[in-house]
Every structure is written in C-alpha cells, then in structure tokens.
C-alpha cells in the first residue's frame, strides 16, 4: 500500500496504514537500541591500552554513562556516535547511557523490550531512575517491574526506586536526604524571554524561606494597591518581586514613585523618586530616532544583550522611563570585518564579535552557548594563524579536547560555516541553520585537525 494517502483511501485503509507505520517505528527503535548495545561492546575501555586515543599525554579513558556493572565507553567514540544519532553530545550521552542501563542492569525489562512487550521509551524512563542505584537495588527494581513495566505509572516507578535505595543502601539514602537542600534553586528564565518583555520565574525553596518570600511579595503588592496602582493582583505581585530585587521595599512607602507597567493601568499619590539599581544592557539595531519617538514606531527592533531576545521600542522606552535606569548601548559590530592582532591572547572585542556571529559551540548538534566556550584558533597561532575573528571558532571544552586529542577535525568554509569530519569519516556541515549530515567519506581520507 502506498504511504501517501489519496482521496480514495477509506478510513479503514488509513487506520491500517497508520498501524503499520507505528509498528515499523517501534521495530526501528528496538533495532537502534540493539545496535547501540553492540556498539558499546566494540568501544569499551577497561584500561589505558584499550583507549581509542592516547595523544600528547591525554588518555581517552572510559566514561561511566550507566550504573555500576555497565561498560565504560570511549569518550571520543561516544562523541561520534552522538553525532551519527543526530544528538548533542550531552543529549546523546544521556540516551546511550539509558540504553546501556536497561541492557546491562535491567535484564528482564530489556528482554521485554526486545520482545516488543515494553516500549523503548518507557524502558528508558525507568532506566533514568535506576542509574544511581547499586547493582542489587537495580536488580530489585527489575524483578518487581518485569511483569508490570508496560502498565505501571511513573509515580509507582519512582517510589519503587526510592524504596530500593533505602532497602539496599540506607547510608546513601540518608546522605541523599541530607543533601536534598542542595536541590533548592531559584530560576529566572531570561533565556526564554521574548518580544513581550516578560520572563518566567520558578524555584524550589526551603519551606520557611518560601513562606517569608510569599508574605513579603503579598505585603508589597498590597502596598502598591494602597498607593493607587489598579493593576491586577498577579501583576502587582510581579512588580513587587522587581521592587525586592532593587531593594525598593526597604525604602518605605514615602519614597516610592510608581511608573505604569501595564497599558491602561493608572497610579496616583506620586511621591519622591527613588534611585533604581536596574541596568538594561542593549544591543540596539534601531534608527537614531526610534527611542526618542521622532520617527515611526516601526523604525526598528532592539535586542536585549542579557537574553539575546528582540524587544520593541515601546518596551525599551518603558524600561528607560524608570527613574535611575542605566542603559548601556552596544554599537553594532560589522561581523564581516577583520581586525587581526599579532598576540595569541584574544581581545575582548574579538571575543564579542565571535560570540555574536556564532552563538553556540561549533561542534555538530552542540547547543552550549558561545559565552561558555573556548575560542579555538582554526589555523594554530604557532603555525602562522592570526588572532582574528575570521580564524577564531567557539568550541566547548569537551569538544575542544576531542579536536585536539583525537582525529575529529574541521575546516572553516567561511566565518560561521564549518565542515566537521569524524574519526570514521562522517561529515557534518555546521552553520547558522544548525547541523546537516553529509555523505560519509572514505575513512582513510585525511582531514584537517
């Protein structure tokens, strides 16, 4: 039957086709898991002599990506596998680790996967919880889930994992309880900011701290209402959080000058202006009249340097209207320009140039931000390569090691466009569109390191 539906296809025929396609997808997932386990058997590192690469004193030792008893695999070989799978090294390592956890430490569930009784995705979700368990605890989970893995809820799985840890390693369970406080966090998702000018905030706090924070925000929201702010309670609570961040709450009600934060909202009883500690760092692509209001409201869009997200000129004006706000305007950089220097050390202006041109690590599928990467001289400085943005490439530390100590290599086709070749001849084109897999080369072909 054709995989392309036609107007003459009946509902029954389409349902049969869909069922066949879903079965083919499940079969392919099982085959992929089998191949990953076979790959691990060929790329196990048990001692230095087994390492894929020993270069310049660096030993490619095995990395533990599953629980105890699962094989250690070559770090550099794992990078190549992740690229072939179309995954980042971090995401691919996690996926391969869960496959090996299932195959080596959950044998009953693994056999159910191979027989098609348990979906691959469900087995990997179970494996995610057992990787930190000792071997006997993982075996306990495997025995109890062997019959129910396909139907149990993940809440039941998590409870079983916790019970197994407490039963077979009570010391570790107690240590985990003591270290639970380290899981506290408070996240301001500036990377997810969009043109609306808002971001999400969430966290896990100590209960007492959470109660105090909630009370402080609630009190400040009520104060804002008393001062005449007619925004909704939710909006006033968000404004109160900003006041806490700037320390405005401690200044008292008599020194607060309210600024409308929502179109249509009003304030009254204005008093003396306070000094704000807000700093807005902007990379602005605007006409010189956009912020003054002399030009059209569609003259341009700004970009917030903290989050690399676009913002409207109205949002910029609103931020700048807050008394005491400091606005840092970064000049537009010509990303095609060349300013080589003789020194090996990289000037800040070159670093900023490269990070604007290549926002992520240049390795295939890697999404680590360039601000957290090394800058590699594509043509080594010792070999005559210049310290110039056209010869600088952002590569995160782990992939920089692979480029330096293994046969991974890349060629700069144009600044911002890189052709990578893996140890077994697989090629990947990385540019501002992302990563594209190209035809495999003959493994004997030489390539630039």
How would you write 298-309 as a 3-class SS string? CCCEEEECCCCE
R_g over Cα of the chain: 28
Give the pLDDT of residue 111. Answer: 96
Q: How many CB atoms lie within 10 A of CB 2?
A: 7
Query: DSSP string spanning 244-293?
Result: HHHTGGGG-GGG------STT----S--PPPPP--EEEEEEE--TTTTTT
| Residue 283: per-residue pLDDT | 56
Strand partners, 326: 279
The angle subtended at Cα 155 by Cα 152 and Cα 156, nearest 5°, is 50
Strands (E), 156-239: 185-188, 201-204
**Residue 176, pLDDT score:** 75
Q: How far apart are CA 444 and CA 209, in angstroms?
A: 61
Instruction: Give CA–CA dist 291/316, Å, rounded.
Output: 7
Query: Is residue 263's pLDDT more than 70?
Result: no
Reply yes or no on whether the pLDDT at 405 is more than 70. Answer: yes
Helix, strand, coil % in the chain, rounded to nearest 5: 45, 15, 40
pLDDT at 174: 76
Strands, DSSP E only, in 79-209?
185-188, 201-204
pLDDT at 295: 53
Select from 191, 271, 201 the least CA-distant residue to 241: 201
271, 268, 179: which is closest to 231 by C-alpha?
A: 268
pLDDT in tens, 203-221: 988 766 887 888 889 999 9
Cα maximum dimension of the chain: 78
CB 106 within 8 A of CB 127: yes
C-alpha to C-alpha distance for 379 and 412, rounded to whole angstroms = 9
pLDDT band at 338 (very low <50, low <70, confident <90, very high): confident
**Do 282 and 330 contact (CB within 8 A), yes or no?**
yes
Length of the chain: 449
Lowest mean pLDDT among 13-17, 202-206, 309-313: 309-313
Q: According to the per-residue pLDDT averaged within each range, which of 33-37, 169-173, 205-209, 414-418 is highest?
A: 33-37
The answer to whether residue 2 scores a pLDDT higher than 90 is no
Q: Say if residues 330 and 283 touch (Cβ distance below 8 Å).
A: yes
How much is the average pLDDT of 268-289?
A: 49
What is the average pLDDT across 349-367? 90
* Structural contact between residues 397 and 387, judged by C-beta atoms closer than 8 angstroms: no
Q: What is the structure's pLDDT at 275?
A: 45
Beta strands in 1-108 (DSSP E): 54-55, 58-59, 62-63, 73-74
Residue recorded with tokens 């380290």: 182
How far apart are alpha carbons 297 and 295 in whole angstroms?
7
Q: Which residue has the tokens 């600024």?
A: 259
Angle at CA 340, nearest 5°, toward 338 and 343?
160
CA nearest neighbour of 284 among 255, 257, 320: 320
List Cβ neighbours of 74 (8 Å cut-off, separation of 6 or more).
43, 44, 45, 51, 52, 60, 62, 63
H helix and E strand count, the chain: 13, 16
Question: Which pLDDT score, from 0 to 100, does residue 25 have?
Answer: 95
Confidence of residue 250 (pLDDT cuts 50, 70, 90): very low
pLDDT at 180 over 80: no
How many whole angstroms separate alpha carbon 444 and alpha carbon 423? 10
pLDDT-based confidence at residue 113 (cuts at 50, 70, 90): very high
Q: Is the pLDDT of residue 130 over 90?
A: yes
Nearest to 113 by CA among 125, 423, 297: 125
Residue 387 has pLDDT above 80, yes or no: yes
Do 322 and 278 touch, CB atoms closer than 8 A? yes
Q: At residue 39, does pLDDT exceed 80?
A: yes
Average pLDDT taken over every residue of the chain:
80
Please give the angle made by the CA atoms of 394, 397 and 398, to the nearest 5 degrees.
120
Give the whole-angstrom CA distance, residue 395 versus residue 355. 11
Average pLDDT (383-391) is 90
């Amino acid at each position: 039957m054709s995989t392309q539906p036609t107007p003459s296809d009946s509902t029954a025929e389409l349902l049969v086709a869909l069922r066949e396609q879903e079965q083919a997808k499940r079969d392919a997932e099982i085959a992929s898991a089998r191949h990953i386990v076979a790959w691990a058997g060929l790329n196990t590192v048990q001692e230095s002599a087994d390492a894929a690469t020993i270069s310049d004193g660096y030993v490619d030792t095995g990395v533990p990506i599953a629980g105890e008893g699962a094989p250690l695999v070559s770090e550099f070989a794992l990078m190549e596998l992740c690229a072939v799978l179309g995954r980042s090294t971090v995401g691919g390592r996690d996926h391969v680790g869960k496959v090996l956890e299932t195959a080596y430490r959950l044998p009953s569930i693994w056999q159910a996967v191979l027989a098609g009784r348990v979906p691959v995705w469900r087995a990997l979700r179970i494996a995610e919880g057992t990787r930190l368990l000792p071997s006997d605890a993982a075996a306990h989970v495997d025995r109890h889930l062997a019959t129910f893995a396909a139907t149990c809820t993940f809440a039941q799985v998590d409870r079983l994992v916790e019970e197994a840890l407490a039963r077979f390693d009570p010391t570790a369970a107690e240590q985990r309880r003591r270290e639970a406080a380290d899981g506290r966090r408070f996240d301001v998702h500036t990377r997810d900011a969009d043109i609306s000018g808002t971001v999400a905030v969430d966290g896990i706090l100590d209960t007492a701290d959470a109660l105090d924070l909630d009370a402080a925000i609630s009190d400040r929201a009520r104060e804002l209402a008393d001062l005449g702010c007619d925004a909704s309670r939710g909006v006033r609570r968000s404004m109160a959080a900003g006041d806490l961040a700037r320390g405005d709450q401690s200044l008292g009600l008599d020194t607060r000058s309210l600024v409308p934060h929502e179109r249509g909202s009003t304030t009254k009883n204005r008093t003396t202006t306070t000094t704000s500690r807000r700093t807005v760092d902007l990379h602005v692509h605007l006409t010189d009249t956009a912020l003054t209001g002399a030009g059209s409201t569609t003259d341009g869009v700004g970009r917030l340097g903290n989050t690399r997200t676009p913002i409207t000129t109205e949002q910029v004006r609103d931020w700048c209207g807050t008394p005491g706000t400091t606005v840092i305007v970064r000049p537009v950089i010509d990303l095609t320009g060349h300013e080589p220097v003789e020194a090996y050390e990289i000037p800040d202006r070159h670093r900023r140039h490269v990070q604007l041109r290549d926002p992520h690590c240049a390795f295939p599928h890697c999404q680590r931000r360039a601000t957290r990467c090394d800058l590699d001289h594509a043509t080594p400085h010792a070999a005559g390569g210049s310290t110039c943005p056209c010869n600088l490439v952002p590569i995160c530390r782990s992939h920089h090691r692979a480029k330096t100590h293994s046969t991974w290599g890349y060629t700069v086709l144009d600044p911002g466009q890189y052709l990578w070749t893996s140890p077994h001849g697989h090629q990947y084109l990385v540019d501002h569109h992302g990563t594209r897999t190209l035809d495999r080369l003959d493994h004997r072909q030489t390539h630039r390191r």
